[in-house]
């Protein structure tokens, strides 16, 4: 959120179940805040909006069908752009989040089980907000396993 605050909805608690899994979520969200993903996403959204407006103005004397085709093409292109961009953000937040939770004294190995639980949840009923904005897939879990040795260096027990 603006100002670098992180808010946790109670809807995530039945999935985190315990403190250490909540540390996975908080590490991930703090990483988004530290890396200022919110700001980037906001300015990217604004650029996309302005781009759309400029295109509408430029096309205003063209026949309706041409306008629709251009705007559809533009819309599809920019949606794909945003998706790949936020996947990079997610990956970055996963990576930094593991290190942050380890620094805070929580075993980063827990992240594997947590994201697996998230992946299982997604195939079930209506997901809470965090799930719908946070893709959980095998790639993410594999990446986390790859980063664990690095994160473990920050974990002292
Ligand atoms: Zn995220």
Write out pLDDT tens, residues 38-67.
665 545 555 555 555 555 555 566 666 555
**Phi, psi at residue 154, to the nearest 5°?**
-95, -5
Does residue 122 or residue 18 have the better pLDDT? Answer: 18
Sign, CA torsion 35/128/16/10: positive
Q: What is residue 61's predicted lDDT score, i.e. its pLDDT?
A: 63
**pLDDT over 80 at 81, yes or no:** no
b/e burial code for range 109-142 (CB count within 10 A of at least 16 → b): bbbbebbeebbeeeeeeebbebbeebebeeebbe
Q: How confident is the model at residue 114 (pLDDT cuts 50, 70, 90)?
A: very high
Distance 1 CA to ligand 1 centre (A): 12
Q: What pLDDT, on a 0 to 100 scale, did the predictor assign at position 118? A: 83
Q: Is the pLDDT of residue 37 over 80?
A: no
- In degrees and rounded to multiples of 5, residue 106 shows phi and psi of -105, 135
Q: Collect all residues with Cβ–Cβ distance below 8 Å to 53 and sequence separation of at least 6.
A: none
pLDDT for res 3: 66
At 76, is the pLDDT very low, low, confident or very high (cuts 50, 70, 90)? Answer: very low
Query: Hey, which residues are catalytic here?
Result: 29
CA of 61 to the centre of ligand 1 (A): 42
Structural element, H or E, at residue 153: none
CA–CA gap between residue 132 and residue 116 (Å, rounded): 15
What would the mean pLDDT of 111-124 be, rounded to a whole number? 82
What rounded mean pLDDT belongs to the chain? 75
- Residue 77 pLDDT greater than 80, yes or no: no
Q: Encoding tokens for residue 69?
A: 């085709």
Whole-angstrom distance, CA of residue 111 vs CA of residue 133: 18
CA of 126 to the centre of ligand 1 (A): 19
Structure confidence at residue 120 as a pLDDT band (50, 70, 90): confident
């Amino acid at each position: 959120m603006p100002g670098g605050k992180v808010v946790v909805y109670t809807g995530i608690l039945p999935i985190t179940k315990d403190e250490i899994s909540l540390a996975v979520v908080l590490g991930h969200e703090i990483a988004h805040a530290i890396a200022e993903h919110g700001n980037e996403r906001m300015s990217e959204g604004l650029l996309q909006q302005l781009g759309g407006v400029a295109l509408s103005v430029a096309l205003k004397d063209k026949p309706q069908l041409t306008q629709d085709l251009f705007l559809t093409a533009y819309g599809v292109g920019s949606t794909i752009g945003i998706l790949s961009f936020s996947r990079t953000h997610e990956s970055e937040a996963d990576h930094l989040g593991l290190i942050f939770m380890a620094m805070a004294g929580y075993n980063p190995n827990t992240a594997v089980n947590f994201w697996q639980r998230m992946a299982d949840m997604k195939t079930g009923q209506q997901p809470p907000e965090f799930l719908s904005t946070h893709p959980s897939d095998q790639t993410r879990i594999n990446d986390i396993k790859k980063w664990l040795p690095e994160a473990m260096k920050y974990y002292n027990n």
